[in-house]
């Protein structure tokens, strides 16, 4: 390996950004194919390519940080700044959905009867599954903070225990949201209410699944002793992402389920 006399990491050429982009394009094209042609071939193929890319890309990053020592303090600082910018972009992403929701609800148009929710739509009871999901995510925020504190104190047993509880709570949230969607008496095609509801809550649900997978990878890395009490930014990034998901849900619950009801 060539000696480096600077703290920065010059990344090697990698095929994974290209294969990930191709997989994502195939996945989104497959979604449209499934909607209009009821075929899942392209969807499954794209998903398989995305999962394969994720595994190999994460494997390379783990090697760079754990075994090759490329993630110096200067590199970690850049990674932190990059994660902050990513979360800001996610905030703006969800801001567009809230903008659409408040635009439609504060001044309902004549096409939906000038009322919100529109006539014929029975919205969800905010004191039922949505409230339970709120308690679940708030509890997961406590357990992930417990896990983070434990790893800083070099107590990996409690860190893994709390992380396991967080992953289980995230999976429980996803199951309940799936049940909620299954029992809904309206669809995305039911006026602007249905489209804003399912777009906002659906993308949040996707972020919960991604966050759960993120935390699961951190748990696996803990099991393989890739993390230490002073070098675990991958875990910190997952914690930041999870707290962001929690905060978005609080806005979703108070806006769409409670106030918009």
45 shares a domain with 130:
no
- How far is Cα 238 from Cα 111, in angstroms, rounded to an integer? 43
Domain boundary residue, one of 16, 44, 70 = 70
Q: What is the mean pLDDT of residues 7-15?
A: 85
102 shares a domain with 62:
no
Work out the percent of the chain whose per-residue pLDDT is above 70.
98
- How far is Cα 226 from Cα 222, in angstroms, rounded to an integer? 6
- How far is Cα 251 from Cα 256, in angstroms, rounded to an integer? 8
Domain boundary residue, one of 29, 46, 70 = 70
The answer to whether residues 240 and 80 touch, using CB atoms and an 8 Å cutoff, is no
Q: Which ranges in 63-155 belong to alpha helices (H)?
A: 73-106, 129-152
127 shares a domain with 251:
yes
221 shares a domain with 142:
yes
- How far is Cα 226 from Cα 224, in angstroms, rounded to an integer? 6
98 shares a domain with 62:
no
- How far is Cα 141 from Cα 230, in angstroms, rounded to an integer? 21
173 shares a domain with 111:
yes
What is the reported pLDDT for 192?
A: 84
- How far is Cα 191 from Cα 98, in angstroms, rounded to an integer? 16
- Total Cβ atoms within 10 A of residue 218: 27
The whole domain housing 27 covers 1-70
42 shares a domain with 156:
no
Residue 114: left (phi > 0), alpha (psi -120 to 50), or beta? left
- How far is Cα 26 from Cα 5, in angstroms, rounded to an integer? 42
Q: Name every residue whose Cβ is closer than 8 Å to that of residue 185 and which is 6 or more positions away in sequence.
A: 121, 122
Could you report the per-residue pLDDT of 186-233, keeping only the tens digit for each?
A: 888 888 888 999 999 999 999 999 999 999 999 999 999 998 888 899
Here the CATH number for the domain that contains residue 128 is: 1.20.120.80
Could you report the per-residue pLDDT of 31-86, keeping only the tens digit for each?
A: 999 988 888 999 999 999 999 999 999 899 889 888 888 888 889 899 999 999 99
62 shares a domain with 133:
no
Domain boundary residue, one of 70, 87, 105 = 70
Residue 118 has pLDDT above 80, yes or no: yes
Q: What is the mean pLDDT of residues 238-257?
A: 95
Contacts 24+ apart (CB under 8 A), 72-80: 72/7, 72/8, 72/9, 73/7, 74/7, 74/8, 75/7, 75/8, 75/9, 76/231, 76/233, 79/233, 79/237, 80/233, 80/236, 80/237
188 shares a domain with 105:
yes
Confidence label for 2 from pLDDT (cuts 50, 70 and 90): low
Q: Name every residue whose Cβ is closer than 8 Å to that of residue 17 and which is 6 or more positions away in sequence.
A: none
85 shares a domain with 207:
yes
195 shares a domain with 130:
yes
162 shares a domain with 218:
yes
Here the CATH number for the domain that contains residue 5 is: 1.10.287.70
| Domain count across the chain | 2
């Amino acid at each position: 390996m060539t000696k480096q006399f600077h703290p920065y990491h010059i990344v090697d050429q990698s095929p994974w950004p290209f294969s990930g982009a191709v997989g994502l394009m195939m996945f989104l094209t497959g979604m449209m194919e499934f909607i209009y042609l009821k075929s899942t071939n392209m969807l499954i193929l794209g998903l398989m390519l995305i999962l394969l890319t994720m595994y190999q890309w994460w494997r390379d990053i783990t090697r760079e940080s754990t075994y090759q020592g490329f993630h110096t303090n200067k590199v970690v600082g850049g990674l932190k700044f990059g994660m902050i910018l990513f979360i800001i972009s996610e905030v703006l992403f969800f801001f567009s959905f809230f903008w659409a929701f408040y635009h439609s609800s504060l001044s309902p148009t004549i096409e939906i009867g000038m009322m919100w929710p529109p006539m014929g739509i029975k919205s969800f009871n905010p004191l039922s599954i949505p409230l339970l999901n709120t308690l679940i995510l708030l509890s997961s925020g406590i357990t992930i903070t417990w896990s983070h504190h434990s790893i800083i104190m070099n107590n990996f047993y409690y860190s893994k225990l709390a992380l396991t509880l967080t992953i289980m709570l995230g999976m429980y949230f996803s199951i309940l949201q799936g049940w909620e969607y299954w029992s809904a008496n309206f669809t995305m095609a039911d006026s602007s209410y249905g489209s804003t509801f399912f777009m906002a809550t659906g993308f949040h649900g996707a972020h919960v699944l991604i966050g759960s997978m993120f935390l699961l990878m951190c748990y696996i890395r803990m099991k393989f002793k890739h993390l230490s009490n002073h070098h675990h930014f991958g875990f910190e990034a997952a914690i930041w992402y999870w707290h962001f998901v929690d905060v978005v849900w609080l806005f979703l619950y108070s806006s769409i389920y409670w106030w918009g009801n």
